[in-house]
Structure 1
Amino acid sequence: MSILAAYQVPHPPLIIPAIGAGREREIAATVRAYHEAMRTAAELRPDTVVIISPHATAYDDFFHISPGTSAEGTFAAFGHPGISIGIEYDVDFVRTLSSVSAERDVPAGTLGEKQPALDHGTMIPLFFLSEYLGDVPTKFVRIGISGLSAYTHALLGQCIAAAAERLGRRTICIASGDLSHRLMEGGANGFAPEGAEFDELCTAFLKAGDFLSLLQIPGSFAETAGHCGLNGLWVLAGALDRAALDAKLHSYEGPFGVGYAVASFTVTGRSEANDFTAQLVRAEDAAIAGLRAAEDDYVRIARMSVEHFVRTHSYAALPHELPQELTESRAGAFVSIKKYGKLRGCIGTFLPAQQSLAEEILYNAVSAAAHDGRFDPIEEHELNRLVYSVDVLSMPEPIESAAQLDPKVYGVIVKSVADNRRGLLLPDLAGIDTAERQIAIAREKACIQPKEPISLARFSVKRHG
């Protein structure tokens, strides 16, 4: 196998002595682990080092591979413009990786570079690695992460491995990224109890080389924890697919409220048991099959409506023998569609617009699939990966202030006093735990400025799915 090893490393700028000015001693275990991991990486004498950095050019729906023949960066953003690092890119590897990605329908390439200079997520691993490379003529590939699913990141990793194999390059991969940024009360990124839980899970999985479990960490949970490194680990999962691994967690620390983990994964052979990406697909297939078996009439109408519209471009007829609560009552309803745990469409009505709740769901499901301006219309090949939920809304009731809201229980409708601009936010959404935050987001959705007078209404929902 052309992938020799992979590494997880953090990128705190203060780990560089000139920048840390002594504070790097507070993460001495991380410094020692970094030296150990990068020394062993250099001893492999790699032809190519692929670095995945969350601070390189990033897009929501595309993996950017840095173009050109070389690049340089400095630590000017951290007060040290005199510290610079330069690398030579592996042009053939970049070209081959772009070609393999195109062949496999993975959205990756060199278009759209925003910042050619090296970012600190790339430079800090290089700072340590370059100390040990010596005369090894190593070239580099820099790749940004994306907002795409764990599965798609793993597919990119498979493309990296395929490009290395096609070229016969001795290749190592480095995922540069911190774990939770929300470990400490009063920290720069705030505190979230999920932060420590996220880091505990990640370090356990890193120690075991359990990339399937890393792929299955819910994105919403990771976002609440305030990570910046999970996406890079998803790429490593694909790059190490079907490899027998010697996994080692060198260190973990979090004294500044940010989790720093150093881990290495040395390839010792081939193991069909480590087909991480295929296992992820099988697990998701089983989970979706379970959801299909357990769905009620509300969710069944939404799914049937979307599948029929995507395949025929016409609205479906309602199923026969629906309960009276669907055929003889009216209510507002929102249909949410997710794919790989990420929102794929959500549209609804806060007051009934159709003759029955069943019709409300049927029409709103099509709107969520085809007319949510935040997303491209759903295509037929996606249908078997989609998960649906339906929120049935109570009638809105006016309230006087945020004190009458509980974002876990009530949704909110914010209306401008001056005109008809109105923003709605459903209850119990990840990361929204205060009424003030709930109102602020509803204002943003309606383009209502923070100081504009508003009226408020609340509603409850019954969630299906």
Structure 2
Amino acid sequence: MSLVAAYIVPHPPLAVPEVGRGEELKIADTLAGYREVSRRVAAHEPETILVVSPHSAYFGDWIYLGAGEGACGSFEQFGTPQVRASLVYDGEFRDALAACGEGEGLSVGCVSARAKKLDHGIMVPLYYLEECYPSDRYRAVSIGGSGVPREELLAFGRCMARTAHGLGRRTVLLVSGDLSHKLKADGPYGFDPAGPRFDEAFARVVESGDPAGFADLDPALCEDAAECGLSGFIMLAGALAEARSQDGVKFTSELLSLEGPFGVGYGVAAFERREPALSKADPLVALARATIEQYVRTRTVPVALTLPGDLPNRAGCFVSIHTASTGELRGCIGTIDPVRATLADEVIENAVSASTRDPRFPAITVPELDDLEISVDVLFPPESATVGDLDPKRYGVIVSQGFKRGLLLPDLEGVDTVREQLHIACMKAGIDPRAGFDAIDIERFEVVRHA
């Protein structure tokens, strides 16, 4: 495992509805960006989240790491003490990160009592992250912005990715930072022509796909624009560069939102490991294979995909995996009815389950990936049936008795008769077939098999 994604988010306290009291609606794009980032972080299921905030302890010659076992905070200074946030720190990661930094000759460590409480630069993005990925599901490392030279910020970013890789941690980097504070004459900091120019430069770097451009921004422009997130952005650039060199992977780069109605620039950006390219074969099989390969290697999954229009938007489906060289079943998990928002999401979830969570088999390992045969069965809605309505080559069958329920797909090798089909389905459900098939409820369904 290693660094799987990085995100840039702003931190206006009024983005929290209890603080904004309606004003947050004026930055709807930013709120949508927060929620998209939250959804993506949850999809990655990180073990550790590195959070960089310029409002923690900020030093001109030191990079601060949050001390102790954790920290908490509230929005009391903004009139809402009831809105709180807390983090448990990943002490092992923090110590290894500090050691890596020291090994690079960097000034880094835990030296200030000031950051024992979470600041709003951390709490604002946490407010939205909590909706999809609560803080009890991960450990964190709190990192302060810093005024050290840019090459040192890049080196520290490389240490982030190096530490994640060395510890085998599935890690996400979350950089909190506003853009220019001088976008409007009637804003809290006034106007300077450098303000909009800085925000435009930020957008160009993100859209270029190369965050190393953050380290090349004109220092005079940055100072005149009164930005507050650049040091974290440069750390991010170093981290992504190191992650690319470790695994040979590329990262996508997306500008999710950019606005500044109050005179301060708010940008949301996402940097994700590039998904394995889907082949020109059947799109559902390609998606299932890409998911299995990505999840087995990195414990992450694809986060977005649009399927061709001739496929249903939602449907139950089963993902079946066989060992290509032997034909033996290696995993099969699915859903009778759709439980995800889209068929693509259904395939992704079932592909992960079939490859790693089928209780009949051990989880698939990396050496097996080149010897897998994968199929996806998309289910039509089931209908009530009698024994006489069944055809094991055309119809799958669902048997149920009370809370017991079992399913068998159609056209399976070695299942040639209705009796064999019902017998196996009953055994899967934990129903004794010797009681007779008249004692069970039967449904049949058709499938479209993608192989």
TM over 0.5: yes
> For residues 55-454 of structure 1, what are the structure 2 equivalents within 5 Å?
55-134=55-134, 137-242=137-242, 243=244, 244-268=250-274
- Deviation, 1:67, is 0.9
CA apart distance, 1:269: 7.8
Task: Find the counterpart in structure 2 of residue 339 from structure 1.
Answer: none
Q: What residue number does 1:32 align with?
A: 32
Distance 1:265 1:89 in 2: 24
Gaps of at least 5 residues in structure 1 are 271-465
- Displacement of 1:166: 1.2
Equivalence for 2:9:
9
- Note the residue ranges of structure 2 that are not aligned, 5 or more in a row: 245-249, 277-451
Distance 1:232 1:113 in 2: 21
Query: Contact 1:45 / 1:136 at 8 angstroms: preserved in 2?
Result: no
Shift of 1:113: 3.2
Contact 1:207 1:263 in 2 (8 A): no
Give the C-alpha shift of residue 131 in structure 1.
1.0
Find the aligned partners of 2:209 and 2:74 in 1 and give their Cα distance.
33
- Distance in 2 between the 1:63 and 1:113 partners? 14
Classify the secondary structure of the residue corresponding to 1:115: helix
User: What displacement does 1:99 show?
Assistant: 0.9
Give the deviation of 1:218 after TM superposition. Answer: 2.1
Name the structure 1 match of 2:316.
Answer: none
Partners of 2:24 and 2:230 in 1: CA distance: 24
Q: Check 1:135–1:205 CA distance in 2 against 1; reply closer, same or farther (3 A cut).
A: closer
Matched residues in 1 for 2:115 and 2:92: separation?
Answer: 21
Deviations 1:287-316 (A, max 9, x none): xxxxxxxxxxxxxxxxxxxxxxxxxxxxxx
Change (3 A) 1:80 1:136: closer
Aligned length: 270
C-alpha spacing 1:159/1:200, structure 2 compared with 1 (3 Å):
same
Contact 1:65–1:109, Cα closer than 8 Å, also in 2:
yes
SS at match of 2:129: helix
**SS across alignment from 2:200:** helix
Q: What do the CA deviations read for 1:347-371 (whole angstroms, capped 9, x no partner)?
A: xxxxxxxxxxxxxxxxxxxxxxxxx
Opposite residue 207 of structure 1, the aligned amino acid is E
Q: CA RMSD in A?
A: 1.5
TM-score after normalising by structure 1: 0.57
1:206: Cα distance to partner?
Answer: 1.2
- Matched residue SS, 1:189: coil
| 8 Å Cα contact 2:257-2:269 kept in structure 1 | yes
1:392-428 Cα offsets, whole Å, 9 max, x none, are xxxxxxxxxxxxxxxxxxxxxxxxxxxxxxxxxxxxx
Shift of the 245–181 alpha-carbon distance from structure 1 to 2, 3 Å rule, reads: same
Mapped contact 2:59–2:146 kept (Cα < 8 A):
yes
Counterparts of 2:29 and 2:274, CA distance in 1: 26
| AA aligned opposite 1:204 | R
**Counterparts of 2:33 and 2:135 in 1: how far apart (Å)?**
23
Superposed displacement of residue 134, structure 1: 4.7
- Aligned letter for 1:256? F
Tell me which residue corresponds to 1:280. none
Distance 2:125 2:7 in 1: 10
SS at match of 1:11: coil
Q: Supply the distance in 1 between the matched residues of 2:187 and 2:149 (Cα, whole angstroms).
A: 29
1:230 offset after TM fit, Å? 1.1
Whether the 8 Å CA contact 1:64–1:113 is kept in 2: the answer is: no
